[in-house]
Structures are given as C-alpha cells and as structure tokens.
Amino acid sequence: MYTVDINRINEKKDLYQRGKKSIDMVSLFSYEKDFELTFTHNSTAIEGNTLTLMETKVVLEDGISIGGKELREIYEVVNHKKAYGYVKKCIAEGIKLNEKIVKDIHAILTENIIIGGIYRNQEVKISGAGHLPPVGNDMYNQIKNFYIELSRKRKELNAIEYAAWTHAEFVRIHPFIDGNGRTSRLIMNYQLMDSGFLPVSIAKETRLDYYNTLEEYAVHGNLEKFLDLIATLEEKQLDDYIKLIKS
C-alpha cells in the first residue's frame, strides 16, 4: 500500500488551482524561476554534471561560461532549460504527451552533444543496476508499446501514479543511448503539469533512494516506492505554493 494519501494531495491540488490567481505575480515568478534553476541543476547533476547550483545559475541567467568545465556540461544545463521551456509550451497548447514530443525533448537535451531523438540499436548496461534494458527488436517493441500504454494508463491510474509510471517505464526501457534519465524526469513533470499538478525536482542528494525505487520497478514491477517518492515531493510543492495564496 502507498504511504502517501493521494486523496489528500488531490485536495491540495484543487485548493492550489482555486487560489493560484490570487498569488502575487512577483512571488509566483520568483518561485517558478527558482524551480527551473533547481530542477535543471538537480536533473543534470544526478547524471554526473559537476556544475554547482551557483555555477548553473551564472550560466543560465547571466550567459557566462564557467572556466575549467567541459563544454558538454555547459550544453547540458542550457539544453535542459530549453527542454523544460518546450514542455511548458506544449502543455499550454493542450497537447498530450506523445512520441514526437518525447523525441523532441531528447533532441533538445542533447543538442551540440550527440544527435538526439533517435532510438539506440546498441546494447546498454546501466552502471550498478541489476536490470538490463531490452535490446534490438525487443526494445523497439517495448517503446512502441509504451506509447500505446500511455493512452490506456491515463484512464486507469490517478494522475500522480500515471506520471510516476511514465517515468519508471520509460527509463526501464532506456530507448536512447544517453539522456534517458533527464528525458524521463521531464516527461514525468509533463504528465504532472498536464493534470494540474506542480512539477517536482528530485534532489541530487537523494539519488541513491531514487535509483533504488526505480530498480524496484524495473526488476520487480513494483511502482509503490517510486510513487511514494514522487507523491511526497508533489505534496511539499503544493504546500509551498498554497502558503502564497492570499486569504
């Protein structure tokens, strides 16, 4: 059983949606800007990017390159911000997550690093993981089935569970040669925001717990621990924004 009360979180989402128009615009902008920075830093750092939070801020907000850092690391944070902007644009246009959007997100994330948006034909091993991603025709069949399941799961699962499943199943398949983690966290937030929830950021300091919950799903098909992680982060986000709502 889940340890987080999904009904309580849904009630908080409804409270946030009813009251968000009364939030001071300056406060809202500062919260959203801070999230964008933190999310970009955490999501790239989880994958090994060595830029600090302050260095990420300087690159994204001031356009200043950081001495001693690989160009790839600079591109990773710049690209992530662009990809997140693309996600918000698609949601504003009312487009449901689909294969084209996923490939576009990956292509933006890997711009100037590798050619993105193309599924791998190589076998890959996830360092430290007991799960071996599918390869060849098996991988192609599984990623095609993933998009079919997106439509069905939307009707079967609650919104947070749906977002968590989207992330966990996509990264289990690992369809790209690189950038699967960053892509999966963006498409999870795509699903959350598309359902009226707030996006969440998984702190780089919690990456071990994060990896373990994903491993539990990949090996045993158990989504509960990962869902609890995402639901807890979502509730914290909602609590922070609800505090901004004027009485």
Kindly list the catalytic residues. 174
Determine the angle formed by the axes of helices 180-194 and 71-92, rounding to 10 degrees.
20
CA 169 → CA 10, 64, 185, 221, distances in Å?
Answer: 23, 37, 12, 9
Spatial CB neighbours of 206, under 8 Å, sequence gap ≥ 6 = none
User: Six-digit token pair at 13?
Assistant: 């989402």
**Nearby residues of 244 by Cβ (< 8 Å), 6 or more positions away:** 23, 24, 27, 28, 31
Q: Identify the residue whose tokens are 């993105």.
A: 116
Return the closest-CA partner of residue 113 out of 82, 89, 84, 135.
82
- Are 205 and 136 in contact by the 8 Å Cβ rule? The answer is no
Structure token pair of residue 99: 């294969």
Residue type, 195: S
Please list, in sequence order, all residues whose beta carbon lies within 8 angstroms of the beta carbon of residue 217, skipping any fewer than 6 positions away: 168, 169, 172, 223, 225, 226
For 20, residues 6+ apart whose C-beta sits below 8 A from its C-beta are 28, 241, 245
